[in-house]
Every structure is written in C-alpha cells, then in structure tokens.
C-alpha cells in the first residue's frame, strides 16, 4: 500500500513517481494493494476487488465502480446529509483471530 498513512496531498505525487519509474524501466504492470478507491480508480486499468479473501469483482475501473456488490461491500454509498453509519468493528471486535 504505497499511499497508506500518507497525506492526501502527497498521494498523487507518490503514484506519479511509481508510474514514471515503472515506465522508465519498461514495466507493463504494477500490482498493488490499495484501500483508497480514488487512487485505485484513477491509476488502474484493471481492478480486482477482494472481500474476505475472495474475488468479488475483476475488471476495468468503470465496471468495478458500477458493480452493485462492490459498491455495497467495498466502496460504500454516499450517505444523505445528517445521517450516520456505525464504524465497521473490525475482525477482532468479536474476539475472532484470523
């Protein structure tokens, strides 16, 4: 996750460095884990969306963005102003360990 823990202002700079460096050395693909969907959509030709260790969807960004299962499970929907959604409790909230 090259942009994890990085300020929003620096994410684009990091991605541009990765793209420029990969082109300079002749790479045809970069495989990366990315939770920032704006970065994933902006810099990807293909996205594989995972959920609980399984492939949820695989395709170009436009198809992934339009996939109802991906939106509901990974991306989330825009909430109406004034509404709140409880934060996801995470895998250890119930005492489970992976």
Asked whether 33 and 3 are in contact (CB, 8 A), the reply is no
CA distance 92 to 98: 9
Q: Report how many domains make up the chain.
A: 1
pLDDT at 34: 87
User: Does 64 reside within a domain?
Assistant: yes
| pLDDT, mean of residues 75-86 | 55
Tell me the per-residue pLDDT of 4-63, one tens digit each, with 9 for 90 and over: 888 888 998 999 999 999 999 999 888 889 888 888 888 899 999 998 899 999 999 999
49 inside domain: yes
Q: How far apart are CA 77 and CA 20, in angstroms?
A: 33
Tell me which residue range forms the domain holding 44: 32-76
In this predicted structure, what is the pLDDT of residue 81?
Answer: 52
- Specify whether the CB–CB gap between 10 and 17 falls below 8 A: no
Whether pTM > 0.85 for this model: the answer is no
Query: Both tokens of residue 27?
Result: 């790479």
Domain membership of residue 71 (yes or no) is yes
> Is 68 among the domain residues?
yes
């Amino acid at each position: 996750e090259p942009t994890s823990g990085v300020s929003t202002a620096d994410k684009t700079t990091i991605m541009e460095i990765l793209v420029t460096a990969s082109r300079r050395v002749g790479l045809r693909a970069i495989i990366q884990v990315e939770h920032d969907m704006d970065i994933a959509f902006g810099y990807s030709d293909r996205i594989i969306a995972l959920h609980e260790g399984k492939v949820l969807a695989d395709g170009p960004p436009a198809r992934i963005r339009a996939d109802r299962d991906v939106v509901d499970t990974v991306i989330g929907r825009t909430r109406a102003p004034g509404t709140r959604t409880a934060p996801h409790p995470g895998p250890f909230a119930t005492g489970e360990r992976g």
